[in-house]
């Protein structure tokens, strides 16, 4: 695993995880019977102690400044079920932001979202038999004026399973 030099996030309304009332509220929003309560509580506890950088802002408009503020080297932008909430025009703007950032440094986009959310991650393989409707895990790398992209896997929407689509999971970055 590569070393992670820096972590940062963007949220329109960041939640203060040092406030117990916020944690209680978030835990109460978890669907019953999903066995996610303990994992979510542990993740919130860890985040409250480590205090990761989460800036208030827009995931498209404020991404260039966040990338500019990151340390030298490749940047990985991770989205998880957020792109599907964007209108088509916003998805296009988001991709342009990543392409523009990729002109001066390598930027990888790891996208975990609904099938068809991005035209970069079209999957022709049939959905895994006997599984819930899967999400698609895709990786696009922007750099040197070009874009490479791979649809890596079908994934359960909450991480219960992964179905790899090929054995070449990580392109050169």
Domain range summary for the chain, segments of one domain joined by +: 8-56, 58-173
pLDDT digits (tens, 9 = 90+) for 127-153: 877 777 789 999 999 998 899 999 999
Averaged in consecutive runs of 10 residues, what is the pLDDT profile of the chain (173 residues)? 88 94 96 88 93 93 96 94 94 96 95 91 80 88 92 86 72 43
* Residue 163, CA distances (Å) to 83, 97, 129, 136, 168 in order: 21, 30, 11, 10, 13
**pTM of this prediction?**
0.86
């Amino acid at each position: 695993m590569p070393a992670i030099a820096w972590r940062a996030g963007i949220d329109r309304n960041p939640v203060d995880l040092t406030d117990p009332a916020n944690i209680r509220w978030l835990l109460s929003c978890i669907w019953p019977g999903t066995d996610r309560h303990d994992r979510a509580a542990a993740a919130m506890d860890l985040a409250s102690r480590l205090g990761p950088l989460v800036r208030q802002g827009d995931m498209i408009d404020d991404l260039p400044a966040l990338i500019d503020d990151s340390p030298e080297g490749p940047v990985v932008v991770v989205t998880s079920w957020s792109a599907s909430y964007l209108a088509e025009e916003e998805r296009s703007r988001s991709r342009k932001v990543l392409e523009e950032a990729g002109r001066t440094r390598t930027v990888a986009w790891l996208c975990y979202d609904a099938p068809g959310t991005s035209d970069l991650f079209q999957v022709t393989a049939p959905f895994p038999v006997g599984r819930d409707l899967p999400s698609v895990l895709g990786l696009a790398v922007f750099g040197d004026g070009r874009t490479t992209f791979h649809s890596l896997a079908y994934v359960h929407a909450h991480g219960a399973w992964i179905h790899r689509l090929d054995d070449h999971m990580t392109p050169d970055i």
